[in-house]
Amino acid sequence: MQRTERFDSADRIIQIGFWVNAVLMVMKLSAGYWGRSSAVFADGIESACDFVALSATIIALRLGRQPYDEAHPYGHGRAESLAAVVVSLVIFVTGGWILVDSVKTVLAHDFRSPEPIAVAAALVTIVVKEWLYRFSHRTGAQLESPALLAVAKDHRKDAITSISTLAGVAGAWFGFGIMDPLAAGLTSFFILHIGWETFREASHDLMDGSAPKDFVADVTRLAELVTHVEHVHEIRARRSGQYIIIDLKLDMDPDMTVKQSHDVASEVKRLIFMAYPNVGDVMIHINPHEEEHEDLIRL
């Protein structure tokens, strides 16, 4: 998949989620207010918070698709990981707000009997948000986009929230008023967990955390299949948005000419690009095979 196609696919998914979320937000706020359900109204506030996350993601994708320049020689892909951090913080705040509000409601014994419209709103949200999660996650996994995967998790968080909301609203509708705020409180813990997972993965990328071990092992095997590559001396890989950047050290015959070594390194890079569309760059260093040499590094 070409660079433009990758970002266009991500943009399309985000735009769909943005407008669907807008409709759900209005529906839940209205149903929560007129349907006398604090859980459904809180769900609507949560959807409003999602606008911050989705807006940040849209901005990040536009920044991330910018090609490298003099000030950013490695591109702008980290903008996606920054957006994922923003999404995680929004999820944290939302979860904390819902937890505090539910505790206050229980302590105040401020229980209300919801209307059927509140139950219907929770049910519709579950179906729509689960569909959005599957739709977004499938594309996010294909593109290996941190921002898109974070948004997909946010959709799943909303679906889980609404399941709990539905149980609470239905229970309150049948006369167990305390179930409405209890459901909201229970949901907040699921939300906080999803926020932590999203933050952990995004911060891993921002801190130059290593790419998955199986990916590194597969790239190593591929490079060592190339003629004249005696051994992969060292390999490091890190993520930059939807792309992975690889640093590779190859051991080769010390008597090879610069031109021959360059051709072999170019073949290694070409094969990696063909096998992995999500690799943005491969930086290759040549070492003399079976000769003493010192790797100069300060990290």
Q: pLDDT by residue (tens digit) across 164-174?
A: 778 877 887 78
Q: Are strands 243-252 and 231-240 parallel, antiparallel or unpaired?
A: antiparallel
Span 209-236, average pLDDT: 90
Structural domains in the chain plus CATH codes: 3-206 (1.20.1510.10), 213-288 (3.30.70.1350)
pLDDT tens for residues 243-252? Answer: 889 999 999 9
Residue 25: per-residue pLDDT: 83
CB 289 within 8 A of CB 253: yes
Cα atoms in the Cβ-side hemisphere of radius 13 Å centred on 170: 10
What 8-state DSSP symbol labels residue 67?
P
Distance CA 180, CA 169 (A): 5
Q: Residue 248 and residue 266: Cα distance in Å, rounded?
A: 12
Q: How confident is the model at residue 223 (pLDDT cuts 50, 70, 90)?
A: very high
Distance CA 125, CA 21 (A): 10
DSSP 68: P
Percent share of the chain, pLDDT over 70: 91
Q: What backbone phi and psi angles, to 5 degrees, belong to 36?
A: 60, 45
Average pLDDT score over residue span 9-33: 81
Out of 2-16, 30-44, 196-210, pick the least confident.
2-16
DSSP-derived secondary structure for 197-216: HHHHHHHHHHTTPBPPHHHH
Q: Is the pLDDT of residue 35 over 90?
A: no
Please report the pLDDT score of residue 250 as a whole number.
Answer: 94
Reported as a single tens digit per residue, the pLDDT across 46-98 is: 777 777 667 777 777 677 767 777 777 777 777 778 888 887 888 788 888 88
Q: List helix spans (H) across the chain.
A: 3-34, 38-64, 78-108, 116-143, 146-173, 179-206, 213-224, 258-275
pLDDT band for 298, please (50, 70, 90 cuts): low
Are 150 and 136 spatial neighbours (Cβ–Cβ below 8 Å)? no
Model confidence over 114-173: pLDDT tens digits? 777 877 888 888 888 888 888 888 888 877 776 677 778 878 877 887 787 788 778 877
In contact, 23 and 51? CB cutoff 8 Å:
no
Alpha carbons within 13 angstroms on the beta-carbon side of residue 270 total: 7
Task: Tell which residue, 110, 84, 260, 74, has the closest CA to residue 182.
Answer: 110
Highest-pLDDT range among 12-16, 23-27, 258-262? 258-262
Looking at residue 7, what is its pLDDT? 62
- What order do you get walking across the sheet with 243-252 strand by strand? 231-240, 243-252, 279-288
**Quick one: pLDDT band at residue 267, thresholds 50, 70, 90?**
very high
What is the enclosing helix (H) or strand (E) of 280?
Answer: strand 279-288
Token pair 């948000």 is at which residue?
Answer: 129
Maximum mean pLDDT: which of 32-36, 210-214, 283-287: 283-287
